[in-house]
Each structure stands twice: as C-alpha cells, then as structure tokens.
Amino acid sequence: MALISAKDAEHLRNEFEAELVSPVKILMFTQSIECQFCSETRQIVEEVAALSDKITAEIYNFVSDKAVADLYSIDKIPAIAIL
C-alpha cells in the first residue's frame, strides 16, 4: 500500500515537472535489520523518486556503508540526505 495518496502523488508529480531544473538525489540510510521507522522512510523515499525522472534514490546500509554516512555526517537512522 502506498504511503503517498494518488492525489498527493499527482500534485507532487506536477510540481516536480514544473520546478525541478537539475537532477536531485535522495540518499536514505538504514540497516539490515530495519529500525522502527526505517521501512516507512524507505518506502516514502522510493515513492518520491518514482514521481520524476529527475529524482533518484540511493539506499545505504548505515553500518556497511559507514564511509558514505560519515561523508554526510549521518549519525542516526533512519536518515535522509537530499543532494
């Protein structure tokens, strides 16, 4: 079941089409055994990325991708960095 309603998804799709000029990357940090809100956060990130060709999502493991987490000063999960 989608977390973003069809109405909201359509609104976001239109806004992204009108406003996004450059590509946007969403980085999401989680772990193998997902935390309390990790699965919902991952789902929202993936749903948002699916709304525009200009948005990509990258999912990282907080433990095994520690170097990437450190690069963006991520010290807790779930976490999102928007580039």
Mean pLDDT of the chain: 96
pLDDT at 34 over 80: no
Residues shown for the chain: 83
Q: What pLDDT digit, counting tens, does each position of 62-80 carry?
A: 999 999 999 999 999 999 9
Mean pLDDT of 1-5: 96
- List, in order of start, the domains of the chain with CATH numbers: 22-82 (3.40.30.10)
Cβ-based neighbours of 48, under 8 Å, separated by 6 or more:
4, 12, 26, 55, 57
